Chain A
């Protein structure tokens, strides 16, 4: 192989690697999920849903199951598991009596199941609301969680 051709080929593939690393070459399906900073500053269900999803219209659904204790043993670590058989693209956890209502959310790609598990802090007794976005609509279920000693510390 001629040296110049070989070198050109080597340069081309290393530049491809740099471009891919820099995010300039995108795979065909990219999960677009920018961090929703403003949604973490809102108070109350309606304002939070509007900021996160663009609408506060939601429907209670019996097709969402939420595993969360009725009384928090340790309000700094409240385990929560949400699952649904609906085709979900986003799952969110809202705690309206917390200083900021949105605790966490997850955006799911096409292979993601309607499932989200995490542990949250609760400042005082509050409903914990699970929100699922499926086919452009919002579905919710809620459970009141009692807190005797707040888990926000201090």
Chain B
């Protein structure tokens, strides 16, 4: 099953706030599994991008220090109600996902 992505959009004046969260372990690779004593391998989102109507407006680079269930927020100008926001991500294990929804 694809990792769930939640997107919230909020327009205030000419500004649109885009906030998204991807369910993801964001494992640093430094934590030991308490039962086996082995290190849990690093598994974290690297690229986390926002696009509006297909054009990338913000491209975030995340490291393992970003908290579990990575949440990223940006603000853009010029977006309108009905425009499509798309959030796309990929991680260090070549997993990826994306979700689109209209800006209210």
Contact = CB atoms under 8 A, between A and B. Distances in A.
A106 interface: yes
Interface in B1-37: 15, 19, 28, 30-32
Contacts of A103: 63, 65-66
A95 B67 CA distance: 14
Contacts of B62: 104, 118
A104 B78 CA distance: 25
Given A31-B57, A108-B57, A154-B32, A117 B47 contact: no
Contacts of A122: 65
Nearest to A81: B73
B60 A152 contact: no
Which secondary structure dominates chain B's binding surface?
Answer: strand
B58 A112 contact: yes
**For chain B, which range describes its interface: under 10, 10 to 19, 20 to 34, or 35 or more residues?**
20 to 34
B43 to A, nearest CB: 13
Interface stretch (A4-12, A33-41, A136-144): A33-41
B58 A118 contact: no
B56 A104 contact: no
Interface string A30-72: 1101011101100000000000000000000000000000000
B63 A40 contact: yes
A59 to B, nearest CB: 23
Contacts of A113: 15, 74-77
Contacts of A121: 28, 64-67
A76 B55 contact: no
A111 B78 contact: yes
Contacts of A118: 60, 62, 66-67, 70-73
A78 B66 CA distance: 9
A31 B46 contact: no
Contact of A120 (B15, B31, B56, B65): B65
Contacts of B66: 103-104, 118-121
Contact of B74 (A100, A102, A115): A115
Given A106-B72, A111-B78, A113-B15, 4 more contacts: A99-B28, A103-B65, A104-B72, A108-B74
22 contacts: A31-B57, A31-B58, A37-B46, A40-B61, A76-B67, A76-B68, A78-B67, A99-B28, A102-B65, A103-B65, A104-B61, A104-B63, A105-B61, A106-B60, A109-B55, A115-B73, A115-B75, A117-B71, A118-B60, A118-B62, A118-B73, A154-B31
